[in-house]
């Protein structure tokens, strides 16, 4: 493992109850360094006496732990009376170490690439160092979070009992990369972007709103718009939905953080490390965990065919496809009760076996 941490510092409690855990100086897979690295996690429930009931949920693109707290509860995915649940914020999301909260860099210095591999190693380190957890009962994630969960299961095969990846693949596909190149270009064409430093000199509000509109056509399916599903959210017309749902969500984001997350997403590949040396089949076959893969048929990012192609190399896997007009968003169904019930049923059946 090439990622290294110096001796951790203090543990602080945030205003919302989340833990801010210091990792010290963090050496990265790509050769870069994050000084005074911090990972923010929120926990629920308690460890059992054997410390083998831990669930880790990595966050996703531009998201925080708050976006995944719906997964926790007696009537939701993970009952805190049974599990010790750790929702871990990815680096670059504005809470864990990110461009937006890191010290000012010298002119021309770029924020380093932090990969899914880096996130997986940091989360495993945090579980062991701060919570005394070695065995992970469930590693579960949606989208980019699912890619980190894949990394955990492949890099630590003897320590991950179950893998649950929702709308996620072990490696970012070529078509997915094309989408991400488009998202990156939307941001970088703004006049506030400085190509020398790779950062923004001011908040690019116009580009952020444009990114919201760009995202709207990819994150949801053709059927979603054909059937005007946006009306279920209280919007009266399509333009109102694009402004109120998508533009408003992205204009609040930090553009430097988004570029960092786009880079993380683009580089995601469980075989791109010293252990597997680019052999994706070998990296997938290394997984010993029982796996539940939940693609969404209308997902335009992580296609069902890509998920099933990777599943063919897993020894113990259950692949169940969700039919939903919500596209990629069906995997994190804050606004779709039927999709939420589907995921809950599949997960509970899987963890009870």
pLDDT for res 3: 58
pLDDT for res 8: 56
Lowest mean pLDDT among 9-18, 154-163, 188-197, 325-334: 9-18
Residue 278: phi, psi to the nearest 5?
A: 85, 0
- Helix/strand/coil percent split, the chain, to 5: 40, 20, 40
The 10s digit of each residue's pLDDT in 238-248 is 999 999 999 99
The 10s digit of each residue's pLDDT in 24-48 is 999 999 999 998 899 999 999 999 9
pLDDT for res 105: 54
pLDDT for res 108: 54
pLDDT for res 197: 87
pTM comes to 0.95
Number of Cβ within a 10 Å radius of residue 272: 18
Residues 104/26, Cβ–Cβ less than 8 Å: no
Whole-number percent of the chain with pLDDT over 70: 94
The 10s digit of each residue's pLDDT in 251-274 is 999 999 999 999 999 999 999 999
Is the pLDDT at 114 greater than 60? The verdict is yes
Is the pLDDT at 225 greater than 80? The verdict is yes
Is the pLDDT at 109 greater than 90? The verdict is no
What's the mean pLDDT in 41-63?
Answer: 97
Number of Cβ within a 10 Å radius of residue 173: 16
pLDDT for res 110: 83
3-state secondary structure 69-100: HHHECCCCCECCCCCEEEEECCCCCCCCCCHH
Q: How does DSSP assign 28-65, residue by residue?
A: -TTS-EEEEEEEEEEEES---TTS--EEEEE--TT--G
pLDDT for res 13: 65
pLDDT for res 353: 76
pLDDT for res 10: 59
Q: How does DSSP assign 272-294, residue by residue?
A: SSTTTTT-HHHHHHT--SEEEEE
Is the pLDDT at 5 greater than 70? The verdict is no
Residues 54/47, Cβ–Cβ less than 8 Å: yes
pLDDT for res 315: 95
The 10s digit of each residue's pLDDT in 175-219 is 999 999 999 999 999 999 999 889 999 999 999 999 999 999 999
Whole-number percent of the chain with pLDDT over 90: 89
Structural domains in the chain, sorted by start:
4-172+273-352 (3.40.50.1820), 176-261 (no CATH)
Is the pLDDT at 132 greater than 90? The verdict is yes
Is the pLDDT at 20 greater than 80? The verdict is yes
pLDDT for res 102: 85
Is residue 349 very low, low, confident or very high in pLDDT (cuts 50, 70, 90)? very high
pLDDT for res 260: 97
**Higher local confidence (pLDDT), 222 or 7:** 222
Is the pLDDT at 293 greater than 60? The verdict is yes
């Amino acid at each position: 493992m090439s990622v290294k941490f110096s001796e951790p510092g203090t543990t602080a409690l945030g205003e919302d109850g989340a833990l801010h855990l210091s990792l010290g100086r963090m050496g990265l897979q790509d050769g870069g360094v994050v000084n005074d690295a911090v990972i923010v996690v929120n926990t629920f429930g308690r460890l059992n006496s054997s410390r083998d009931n831990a669930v880790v949920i990595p966050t996703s693109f531009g998201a925080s732990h708050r976006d995944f707290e719906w997964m926790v509860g007696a009537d939701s995915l993970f009952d805190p009376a049974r599990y010790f649940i750790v929702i871990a914020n990815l680096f670059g999301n504005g809470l864990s170490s990110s461009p937006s909260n890191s010290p000012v860099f010298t002119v021309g210095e770029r924020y380093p690439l932090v990969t899914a591999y880096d996130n997986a190693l940091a989360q495993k380190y945090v579980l062991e160092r701060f919570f005394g957890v070695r065995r992970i009962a469930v590693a579960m994630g949606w989208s980019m979070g699912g890619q980190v969960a894949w990394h955990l299961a492949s890099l630590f095969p003897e320590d991950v009992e179950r893998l649950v990846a929702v709308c996620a693949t072990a490696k970012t596909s070529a078509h997915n990369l094309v989408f991400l190149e488009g998202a990156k270009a939307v941001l970088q064409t703004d006049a506030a972007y400085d190509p020398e430093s790779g950062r923004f000199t001011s908040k690019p509000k116009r580009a952020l709103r444009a990114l919201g509109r760009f995202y709207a056509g990819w994150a949801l399916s053709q059927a979603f718009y054909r059937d005007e599903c946006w009306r279920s959210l209280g919007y009266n017309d399509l333009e109102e939905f694009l402004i109120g749902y998508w533009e408003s969500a992205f204009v609040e984001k930090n553009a430097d953080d988004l570029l960092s997350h786009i880079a993380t997403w683009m580089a995601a590949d469980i075989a791109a490390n010293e252990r597997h040396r680019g052999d994706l089949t070998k990296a997938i076959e290394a997984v010993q965990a029982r796996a539940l893969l939940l693609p969404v048929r209308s997902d335009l990012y992580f296609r069902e065919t890509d998920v099933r192609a990777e599943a063919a190399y897993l020894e113990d896997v259950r692949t169940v496809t969700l039919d939903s007009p919500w596209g990629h968003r069906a995997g994190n169904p804050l606004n779709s009760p039927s999709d939420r019930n589907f995921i809950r049923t599949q997960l509970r059946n899987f963890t009870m076996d």
